[in-house]
Every structure is written in C-alpha cells, then in structure tokens.
Amino acid sequence: MGKVIEFLIGLLVMPIVEMVLRLLLVVLLIPIIGSGQKEIVIAGIFGTIILSFILPIVLIIILFFIRKWVAIGYIISFIIERIISLLLGVSLDFLQMLF
C-alpha cells in the first residue's frame, strides 16, 4: 500500500513541486542577472526553456535515491505532460497552470 501512495505522490504532487521550484529559481535568478527589462526576459527564457528540462531530470535523480516509486510516478507524469503538450500544441507552463 505504501508503494501506491508514493506512486500517487509522484504522479500528482511532484509536477506542482517542480513548477514551484522553477518559479522560485527564476525569481531568484532575476536579481543575480540584473533588474532591467532585458535581464528579466533572459531570466524568463532560462526558466521556461532550460529549467523545464534540467530541473525534472535533477528531481528524478534525487528522487530515485530517496523514494523510487515517487520517482517512477513523476517520470510517468512528466511523459504524460509532454505528450499532452505535443498533441495540443500548447506550452508546458500553460498546462501546469491548468493542473
């Protein structure tokens, strides 16, 4: 029963955790880069493009060492998100706002 709960946490909760972490990283990145409009755009591009692929991979690696079933659930939710975004042709950020 514990594996099922861990799997559901990975499937349902980890995408939300990833989105919050990504937003925090972008917000923390803006003061480092600078406060001009150009710098905010650079931080936004970094957050949406690069962190949308790097952060999930890092989270999956960390989760595999902590809780394997949470990582498996998160991998499945990650794949489902990408498939839905490709089929609908919308960005991942928009999909994450819906869920």
pLDDT for residue 76: 92
Q: Please state, in angstroms and as integers, the Cα–Cα distance from residue 90 to each residue in 32, 62, 66, 93, following that order.
A: 30, 28, 32, 9
Model confidence pLDDT, tens digit, residues 29-86: 767 666 667 777 777 777 677 777 788 888 889 888 998 989 999 999 888 888 877 7
Number of H helices, E strands in the chain: 6, 0
Give yes or no for a contact between 93 and 48, defined as CB atoms under 8 angstroms apart: yes
pLDDT for residue 82: 80
| Average pLDDT for 14-34 | 77
pLDDT for residue 1: 64
Domain residue extents for the chain: 2-98
Give yes or no for a contact between 72 and 7, defined as CB atoms under 8 angstroms apart: yes
pLDDT for residue 49: 72
pLDDT for residue 35: 65
Distance CA 57, CA 85 (A): 18
